């Protein structure tokens, strides 16, 4: 796919991987539509994109957990630009709490944003994307291949996203719709700072060493490369690829490796 002249919607575009994707798509000539709840920040990013890359950028305040917001996002994009070529379902939230301790509101919030946000946006964009031979991207996680301790809701939402997108791909094998699942490893961003604790409140401080993680800019570059090449699945780190392989062949061994990894994080939930 040549991105020049294409219209790309990115949810969760006010920070992290979403913001980095906005810059990367714009750098390659795409018109970008930025969706998130933080409207002022979106406008600042849109202005920077226009100034730096001389492409069009539109900010639309959107809470992807609200179906009507997602419908309006798609309608406003088509109304303004007349097309949609790529939908990047990036909006997401994490959580960190043992299932036995958490309020079920934690899982509801995570599923509403990570899974239902993807479903809502894709539903209202699907006909336009099929007509354009476009692409649907789901920014998932290795947590969508292997359940992680303290992240029951997050893993569940990413497993659900995987199943949804794989089904969508098969339904549209004859329609030239590109469906890609992007699975970064641990990425340096604020997702762990705003991860929900057992009371459904942001935990405030990351439990991991952020400076040792892949940058959001590198993740964005790989996602955009994957869209251009119409890749099926992107597993972006060696650790992630090993996890996927071990889960297929020796899952019980991987259970122990994952347990040992997470008991070493700051203020561990398991020991």
Active-site amino acid positions: 154
Helix (H, G, I), strand (E, B) or coil at 66: coil
Separation CA 121–CA 165 (nearest Å): 13
Alpha helices in the chain (DSSP H): 16-27, 39-53, 67-81, 105-111, 117-132, 152-171, 216-229, 238-249, 251-262
CA distances from residue 156 to 38, 152, 180 in whole angstroms, order as listed: 26, 6, 19
> What sign does the dihedral 183-187-191-193 (CA atoms) show?
positive
Residue 36 per-residue DSSP state: E
Specify whether the backbone of 239 is left (phi greater than 0), alpha (psi in -120 to 50) or beta: alpha
d(CA 75, CA 11): 15
């Amino acid at each position: 796919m040549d991105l020049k002249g294409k219209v790309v919607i990115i949810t969760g575009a006010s920070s992290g991987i979403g913001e980095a994707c906005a810059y990367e798509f714009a750098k390659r000539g795409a018109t970008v539509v930025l969706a998130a709840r933080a409207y002022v920040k979106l406008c600042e990013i849109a202005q920077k994109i226009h100034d730096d890359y001389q492409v069009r950028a539109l900010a639309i305040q959107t809470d992807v957990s609200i179906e009507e917001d997602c419908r309006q996002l798609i309608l406003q994009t088509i109304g303004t630009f007349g097309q949609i070529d790529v939908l990047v379902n990036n909006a997401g939230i994490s959580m960190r709490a043992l299932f036995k301790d958490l309020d079920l509101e934690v899982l509801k919030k995570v599923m509403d944003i990570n899974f239902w946000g993807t479903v809502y946006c894709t539903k209202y964009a699907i006909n336009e994307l099929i007509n354009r031979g476009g692409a649907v991207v789901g920014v998932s996680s290795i947590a969508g291949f292997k359940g992680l301790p303290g992240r029951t809701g997050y893993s569940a939402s990413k497993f659900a996203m995987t199943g949804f997108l794989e089904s969508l791909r098969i339904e549209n094998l004859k329609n030239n719709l590109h469906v890609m699942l992007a699975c970064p490893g641990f990425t340096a961003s604020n997702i762990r700072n705003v991860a929900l604790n057992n009371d459904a409140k942001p935990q405030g401080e990351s439990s991991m060493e952020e400076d040792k993680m892949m940058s959001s800019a590198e993740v964005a570059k790989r996602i955009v490369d994957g869209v251009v090449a119409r890749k099926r699945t992107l597993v972006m780190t060696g650790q992630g690829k090993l996890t996927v392989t071990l889960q297929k062949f020796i899952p019980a061994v991987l259970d122990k490796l994952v347990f040992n990894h997470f008991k070493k994080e700051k203020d561990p939930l398991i020991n």
